[in-house]
Chains A and B, each alone.
Chain A
Amino acid sequence: MRDGQRLSLHVPEPEVRPGDKPDFSKVTIPKAGSVRRPEVDADPETIRDLAFSIIRVLNREGEAVGPWAGTLTTEELLEGLRHMMLLRSFDARMLTAQRQGKTSFYMQHLGEEAVSCAFQRALEPGDMNFPTYRQAGLLIAGGYPMVDMMNQIYSNDADPLKGRQLPVLYSAREHGFFTVSGNLATQYIQAVGWAMASAIRQDTKIAAGWIGDGSTAESDFHTALVFASTYRAPVILNVVNNQWAISTFQGVARGGSGTFAARGLGYGLPSLRVDGNDYLAVHAVAKWAAERARQNIGPTLIEYVTYRVGAHSTSDDPSAYRPKEESEAWPLGDPVIRLKNHLIRIGAWSEERHKQAEAEIRDTVVAAQKEAERHGTLHSGGRPSMRDMFEGVYAEMPPHLKRQRQQAGV
């Protein structure tokens, strides 16, 4: 270093801010079908390139192409489209319900529907997801009743969680959905622990951990990768890179590592990067990782490249930190439209049927909402009891809590 040279701190900034023209020219999108599909027992050392590319199946013409195509039947794809449409419609209704004061808070999936909806199709009953707050597609695709989700969101008298949890922090053990914490990243290492337990008991079940691009910076992410790698746990470690952590662009958490998938390489994990807006690609990669886990070969890290079209939550306003037109410019498109176009392309769907389905789905969601609202919303109608507040801290209520409950008059 030259004598007297002053240092300067690098603080990353996104390419554009509100008022600027959206620019994704630095996001390299490989052609659909161009990334190879290794065997599930491939040595991670031999597939390091997959952490820097993007596995894609659907091309611009709506065709499914390449070695990752063909994991789902037409029937399953039609069902997948329905799941994504349900989730989108559900989100729209619940966002409005929040604006109407029927609940305190909501978080939507707009633009990211394919990730959780397609992933769930790769799991078996008994497997366990450790989700964040933006994977309700796991429940929708897993057949969990929408009414119960709404009851939870409304914290009404039919809320399965008795009003104790913030809206959308569901819990559904029977549907392989671990209780969502609301803290970030904590569930990632828990997923690894659950998978280790399954292996200790010589079970057949696998686990899936979920995390966002931003919270990969938490130490729990590192910890989870270490444990997964050390014990070769049967777990799929999912990173949903939706470009934005509230107002912070993904570059702040990613630093100089190139991609989030590349983080896995240092731990010796097979690390795959996939088009998160491509239902077929998400499923194919998830299936690959699930097979690997189930065959006791070990864990896989998957980065889903997607875009958070909506606000982080109902408490957020993205127009304050990114161009309004940015989501339109996102080069991987919209997951619902892309699957729709594919199904039309193969002659299994049409614009008319799509419109019809949209209307039917809206009716289904509205009917569920009406049923849920019969049990109350946050500020009106039925609500969980004050007794419910005191219950369930421990299996058996200890004396000091009994005294407090008595004091509260319940």
Chain B
Amino acid sequence: MARMTMIEAIRSAMDVSMARDENVVVFGEDVGYFGGVFRCTQGLQQKYGRTRCFDAPISESGIVGAAIGMAAYGLKPCIEIQFADYMYPAYDQLTQEAARLRYRSNGEFTCPMVVRMPTGGGIFGGQTHSQSPEALFTHVCGLQVVVPSNPYDAKGLLISAIENPDPVIFLEPKRLYNGPFDGHHDRPVTSWAGHSLGEVPEDHYAVPLGKAVVRREGSAVTVLAYGTMVHVAQTTAEETGIDAEVIDLRTLLPLDLETIVQSVKKTGRCMVVHEATLTSGYGAELVSLVQEHCFYHLEAPVIRVAGWDTPYPHAQEWDYFPGPARIGEALRDMMEA
């Protein structure tokens, strides 16, 4: 075991995978010599050479399009889109190509590829470095969507993603890169050093895709969260004294519905929190599934606390972010219902 930040854990996952399988290649903007703007690929080029880890032109559609060709050849590209906000030029390649190769060729061509991208706000990144576009991917059949919330999961999930035979969108909450974030932006930053999930094995291990985990057991209400919001939800439960059961979804597609249903049937209440904008967000899918599968166990309407339906603002970042105050208030309202 070693102490790792989420950045180190993600790097370790690629390192371990590249060492085990020479088909694993890593590329993207600034990922080669420099090691990525968030340092996730630092040292990989030096260790594995320029043809296994290299810089790409500033062309997201090119990075993804080339990776699709490589995957069709038989490589396993693990590519980086510098910010999730930059992925739109690649959306055509992801949704109509990567996601459908297997289906449309009846398995002749497949696309074992991982597309890593930092997601979410909290670093004063403004509208083009803060977005959470997960719902744009969960709507696409053929893709899988993963959002880790801590170093241990990040490494295990990334290894699973690299070893998966189909394309995986791997969204890395950038606010969690260097430490867990409880949503209180005005308090001192904490590091992963003091967190149990900052303990990460140095060797190969896998956290399976499609499996959620209960992060905090509770009996009053189920809170469904992923990424940064897992920590915010846990903190809010402690601070409000409301005995919430917090589920870390980890994989959004395919979704671990069983764990959700089991919990909501127990608590009778459900809240979904995400940083992405509200309307047509992934929360809508979760709410729909919960009412469909747990309707007769519900004691209150299922509600969502999410980013407002505005572009991610710069100065008003913390007014936009669904922090402990908003979640706490919604939880209290819900318990009164």
Contact = CB atoms under 8 A, between A and B. Distances in A.
Interface of A: 128, 130, 160-162, 164-165, 169, 171-173, 178-179, 181, 183, 186, 188-201, 207, 219-220, 223-224, 226-227, 230, 392-395, 398-400
Contacts of A199: 51
Interface in B65-86: 65-70, 72-75
Contacts of B141: 393
Interface string B107-121: 111100000000000
B166 A394 contact: yes
B106 A189 contact: no
Interface string B7-49: 0000000000000000101000000000000000000000000
Nearest to B60: A223
Contacts of B103: 164, 392-393
A178 to B, nearest CB: 7
Given A197-B73, A227-B62, A171 B96 contact: no
Contacts, number: 136
A64 B292 CA distance: 73
A207 B101 contact: no
Contacts of B93: 186, 189
Centre residue among B62, B75, B144, B258 by max chain A CB count within 10 A: B62
B97 to A, nearest CB: 5
B311 interface: no
Nearest to A173: B108
Given A130-B69, A200-B52, 9 more contacts: A161-B104, A189-B66, A197-B74, A199-B51, A201-B73, A220-B61, A220-B65, A224-B62, A398-B253
A275 B73 CA distance: 31
A47 B68 CA distance: 32
A197 B62 CA distance: 14
Nearest to B22: A201
Given A171-B105, A393-B142, A193 B61 contact: no
B69 A197 contact: yes
A194 B101 CA distance: 14
7 shortest A-B CB distances, which residue pairs?
Answer: A193-B69, A193-B66, A189-B65, A398-B254, A197-B73, A179-B105, A190-B69
Contacts of A198: 73
Contacts of A393: 102-103, 141-142
Contacts of B104: 161, 164-165, 169, 171, 179, 181
Centre residue among B68, B70, B96, B107 by max chain A CB count within 10 A: B70
25 contacts: A128-B72, A173-B108, A181-B96, A183-B97, A186-B97, A189-B61, A189-B69, A190-B66, A192-B69, A193-B67, A194-B73, A195-B69, A196-B70, A197-B74, A200-B25, A200-B51, A223-B65, A224-B62, A227-B62, A392-B103, A393-B102, A393-B103, A394-B142, A395-B102, A395-B166
B257 A400 contact: yes
B255 interface: yes
B165 interface: yes
B254 A399 contact: yes
Contacts of B59: 223, 226-227
B125 interface: no
A340 to B, nearest CB: 36
Contacts of A194: 69-70, 72-73
A38 B57 CA distance: 31
Contact of A193 (B68, B102, B106, B107): B68
B301 interface: no
B309 interface: no
Interface in B108-157: 108-110, 141-142, 144
A160 B106 contact: yes
A162 B107 CA distance: 11
B194 interface: no
A172 B109 CA distance: 9
A219 B70 contact: no
Given A173-B109, A179-B109, A395-B166, A226 B62 contact: yes
Nearest to A190: B69
B57 A230 contact: yes
B238 interface: no
Contacts of B74: 197, 201
B92 interface: yes
B218 interface: no
A196 B142 CA distance: 25
A128 B73 CA distance: 9
